[in-house]
Amino acid sequence: MCTDSDFDRMMDYFRRTELSRRQFGALSVGAALGSAVPSIGYAQGLQVSDVNIPTPDGTCDAYFAHPAKGSWPAVLVWPDIMGLRPAFKQMAERLAQSGFSVLVVNPFYRIRRAPTSPPHPDLDDPATRAAVMSMAAGLTALTAATDANAFVPWLDSQAAVNKHRMMASAGYCFGGPYTLRTAAAFPDRVRAIASFHGAPMVTDKPDSAHLLIQKINVHALIAIAESDDQQQPSVKTVLRESFDRAHLPAEIEVYAGTLHGWCPPDSRAYNHDQAEKAWARQLVVFKQALA
């Protein structure tokens, strides 16, 4: 992207789809993280660490989780606009327990190290909203490509990553389009993507993320919030047509009763049952594509 940022487009999207305070008030904050992301995996345990990854734009702080023994397919996770925080670290651990080496990054490392949002992030809070808008305003398609070109080779340099197996990328909220950008940067390496309430996946700009589908080779999971679909019902159709033209398998579903942001367990829009469904589908797609 040359001038407009993905964030600018996302915030324009939010302005058109923003939930009212009354809607937010009707929601309950997600259950305690410990119960929302249970440990279900390997008895051998995990190895987890805070890591620092050099990029052309500075050093990115990130979190790396993987089974304690062996080498495993890599997954690069792009968090939502609230950034790298305990919820995403626990989600990374949970994914690692299913047999993956998982890197979740701080997308705002150019400005500050994580955490970049309050303990219970809420976009409806004016101060929080202003802070994340300020941090994310400079993120573009170019920075996404720059970061992917640093993070994927870093993963491949790790002993815990099986470089003979293909890798995946997952993204939440504004991280959703980054999965497509990662797959386009590494079409021979990334074989699966999962986007959860990703925005904006489709725009009318010449560098819209969905236009990259012709350049990738993935099995995709696109999990769309019902509130997003109500505002932009054409997105699912454009994505379906794009994946069909590219002859790529894609599971594109609107998750009934969900609001934008329903997957992270610390989100005010968290929907436990539908988040668990989306998580289960992610595992199926990743294990099939990376087998």
Distance CA 179, CA 68 (A): 26
Burial 68-105 (b: 16+ CB within 10 A, else e): eeebbbbbbbbbbbbbbbebbbbbbbbbbbbbbbbbbb
First to last CA, the chain: 34
Distances (CA, A) of 236 to 197, 200, 243: 12, 12, 11
pLDDT tens for the 291 residues of the chain, in order = 233 444 454 555 444 444 433 333 333 333 334 333 433 444 459 999 999 999 999 999 999 999 999 999 999 999 998 999 999 999 999 999 999 999 999 999 999 999 988 776 676 778 877 888 778 788 899 999 999 999 999 999 999 999 999 999 999 999 999 999 999 999 999 999 999 999 899 999 999 999 999 999 999 999 999 999 999 999 999 999 999 999 999 999 999 999 999 999 999 899 999 999 999 999 999 999 998
Query: Which residue, chain included where needed, has tokens 């052309």?
Result: 56
Q: Nearest CA to 266 among 11, 44, 86?
A: 86
Cα separation, 102 vs 276, in Å, equals: 19
- Counting beta carbons within 10 angstroms of the beta carbon of residue 287, is it exposed (0 to 12), middle (13 to 18) or buried (19 or more)? middle
- Among residues 13, 6, 5, the alpha carbon closest in space to that of 232 is found at 13
* Bridge pairing between strands 46-55 and 58-67: antiparallel
Instruction: List the beta bridge partners of residue 61.
Output: 52
Residue 109: DSSP 8-state: T
Q: What kind of architecture, by CATH, is found in domain 6-289?
A: 3-Layer(aba) Sandwich (3.40)
What phi, psi does 216 have (nearest 5°)?
A: -120, 175
Which ranges of 97-173 does DSSP label H, i.e. alpha helix? Answer: 126-136, 141-156
